[in-house]
Structures are given as C-alpha cells and as structure tokens.
Chain A
Amino acid sequence: MSELNEIMNPIKENICLPEFLVYERPDTLTEQEFHYCPGCGHSTVHKLLMEVVSEMGIVGDTIGVAPVGCSVFAYHYLGVDMQQAAHGRACAVATGIKRVMPEKIVFTYQGDGDLAAIGTAETVHAANRGENLLVIFINNGIYGMTSGQMAPTSLEGMVTTTSPYGRDVLTQGYPLKISELLAHLPGVYYVTRQAVNTAGNVRKTKKALQRGLEYQKKNLGFCLVEVVSNCPSNLKMTPLESNEFVANQMIPFYPLGDIKVPEVK
C-alpha cells in the first residue's frame, strides 16, 4: 500500500475481514492499470467480463480476441489467453480458434468501428454460420482511438471530427443498429443490448455477459452482447456528462434490453 493509501484509508479491523468482503477487483484482471480515460465504459466492461470469468471458474477454458480500436490492448488487462486481431477481423480470428478448439469458450471484444464498419462482413458471416462465439460489442457512437471521427453508430446530427456539422444521414448514412440486424439470422442464439452508465445497468450487463458465457459453455450458437457506452474524451464531456449523454441521447435510439432470447422449450 502506498503512503497515500495508508493515511487516507485507515483499515477498520473489525469490518475489513475476509468474511465480510463483498467486492474486490477480480484476480483475472492483470495488474496492469487500464490505459482508458477516466470514466470510460471499456474499463467497466473489462472488469465485468473478468468478474464473470472468475466466478464461472473458466479462466483456463477461455480464449479472447482483441480488436483494433481503443480496446486494442484488451489483452494486456484480460488475464486469459488472448489474440490480437487485425482491424475488423476479430470474428474471423475467433472462428479459426473455435473451429480448432471447439471445447474452449471463445469471445471477441470489439468496438463499433471494428465490428460494424470495417468488420461487418466477418461479423455477419460468423453470426450466420452460427459460430459458437460470444461477441462483446462496445457501442459508444464514435471512433475513440483515432480521436473522435464518425462511427457507423454515431447518432443523426451528432458532431464528430468527420461530421463537423453533425451527421447528415442523407450523405453519411444512418446510425447502424447492427444488433437488430444480426438478431434476424437463424444462427444467432442470443442478442441483448445493455449499458454501464448506472449501477443498475452495470448489474444487468454483468448478467448478460454471464448468460452469453453460459450459452458458450454449452455451444448453443452465436451470442452478441452490445453495451451502449460513453467516450468522455471524444465527446468532450466529463465522465458524468458523458453518462448523461448515454442516458438521454444514445439509449433512446439504442433501447436497452434483450433483442433475441432463446425460446424456452
């Protein structure tokens, strides 16, 4: 513990005991600190994913694929075996992994540019083949890594560095609801859209990830968990403001909830 922690965090010896522990950082996250900006939803989803992997006891059975985009370094943080894929190709790389290791649980972690722009073909066809993958899709409506360009999911009228007068749908296309699109495919088993802007939504996202991984454990088909997220730095907002943007602008267009759930037989 650092000096600051010692001074500011005096340990209450009667409470801070292992038997009273209700939350700690999952041990499947590596020691490395996230490079993400303060308040970024990527961090939250990384954390949730590793919580679920820890709780399910599937660390040794899970192989992940990192994208190109802000979460390109996901493999530095997620303490499972990982591969870093070329931009947009995560679903193809994951298909390669899963086909030769069908007994493993394989997930991809992708942003909106990676999954819904450059990687649309790979995503759609992996889904259509019903590949047994959990695809975690972070939709923050903007390109983060390249600093603030328009994403396929940017909202109509949204100002970005490449839509400086606001996204004009007549010339720049409409925001893409890829989850709804994929849900129509018969190979797709489970599609849900969640968010991490409030404690309640964080809980629901964790449940969705859990569900996705449980389905993967049984090889039931292609699962997609979309997480509507923020990008405070590129929206030029504080983290709290960016979460309000998620609540007031993003979620009304990208409504939360299950989009496709398995039929109960």
Chain B
Amino acid sequence: MDEESARGAAVARAPAAAVSLRATTVAFRLADGATYTAVEDASLAVADGEFVAIVGPTGCGKSTLLNVAAGLLAPCAGGVAIFGEPLPGLNRAAGYLFQAEALFPWKTAIENVAIGLEIDGAPPAKARARAAEWLTRVGLAGFGERYPHMLSGGQRKRVGLAQVLIRDPKILLMDEPFGPLDAQTRQIMGNLLLDLWSADRKAVLFVTHDLEEAIALSDRVVIMSAGPAARIIGDWKVDIGRPRDIAEVKLERAFRELHRDIWQKLKDEVLKGYAQTGGG
C-alpha cells in the first residue's frame, strides 16, 4: 500500500514517460485449455525522445510486450500508461513496424505510404505527394508504383518505415524490423533509422535479438530472460555519443565493454532459450 502510493507520487512528479509498463503479466490460453505465462511482472519506462532496445532470446515475449504497449493485447495484470494516461484500447500515439510482412499487398508502395494520411481524411493528391516525399526520404524514389512483391525484403521494410512515420507518431514501436535482412542491409537500415530519428527524436521501443544492433542504435538496452514467465533482468545505459555510425560505433572501446558486460548476462538466457525451443 505504502509502496503503491509512493510510486504514484513519483510518477506524478517526474515528466510522464512516453510508454510505461507497470508490472505487466501476459498469459495466453492454449488450445488444450492450459495457460501459458509469456511475460511476468515486466516493468519498463521509455522517456519521451528516448531510444530503448529490448533484447532477449527467441520466444521470450518481446513481441508480446510490444503488442501490450501498442494496445493490441491487454495484459492480465499490471498497467500500461502512455504519456501518463492509462491506455484504454489501441495506442493512438504509436506507430508500429511489425515483425512479419504487414504492407497491403494489393496497394503499390506509394499507396501503402499514402494510406496513413488518407485514413485521417487527407485529400488523396496531397497524401500522395507527401508519400512520394517519404519514399524519397527512405531511399525509394522511383519505386512508388511497385507492388510489395516486386520489392526486396529491405525495400519492403523501408516502405513500412515510411508508412508508419508519415503519420508522425509520438512513439515508435519496432519489432525486429531488420531481422530477415542481410548484414549489410541491416547496417544501412540502421543508419537510415538513426538519421530519421535524429530529426525529431520520438520515443522508440526497438525489439531485436541482436545485441550489437541494440547497443549501436539505442540509449538504453533492456534484457529479457528466456520464457516462460520471462522477466526483465537487466537495464543498461549506452553512454556513446551521437550521431553514430552503426559500423564505426562497433569499434569503440565503450561499445565493446558494454557488449561484454551485457553478453555475460544474456548468454545464459540465450542458452536456456535454445534448450526450450529445441535449438530453433
């Protein structure tokens, strides 16, 4: 009781975090009637303008946590607050870049980007012009008339990024956005993301299974344990200056030391995760 009120007071004093998960627990009902607790008692706050990466072994519940922050999934215990307000349904302040393919396959690249504005009633011609600007910004000028299946995986992710960013969300949720891409493309996409982000520092919650990527991009790295009942088991500040270049930052001493520290802790969890998923 005392603790609750103390925490409440603390929240009231500090500027409200963009995203704050308080002791969230998420459980799924399985087909056989059993319940599977994916995430337990996870607390996490992302300040406005902060870039936070979540790292954890496959299947630990990273996407689940992001879905909770997006309001797509209701936690069975704990609470979610967005800029200090409890989240009633979908998170209207957030843009979400999904792990799986999420572009509308029946729309061209430019239509996929423009739709974000048309939904809010922007005139089609204006939405299209803005979409063209965004395509240029993500390096896809001239690809507007292609359908998603005519684009490479990296190009599709760029369209996805433009589709989300054109709405100018205050919060950006990204679920292993560069996961399926090759190493070079990941680097290029990482730099592009930092470039776009530095223009108007949104709060970012970035999920990845790649610790190097997490450190290179973010202000803070949060580590999750292997599931079931995954918890947040570590929280590191990344004290590396910006602007950064993904490739160069990896050569810095601070980067390597932080990487070693975090990896110490993460290694055991990754092995546990592998044991549970059968190495897959």
Q: State yes or no: do A and B come from one complex.
A: no
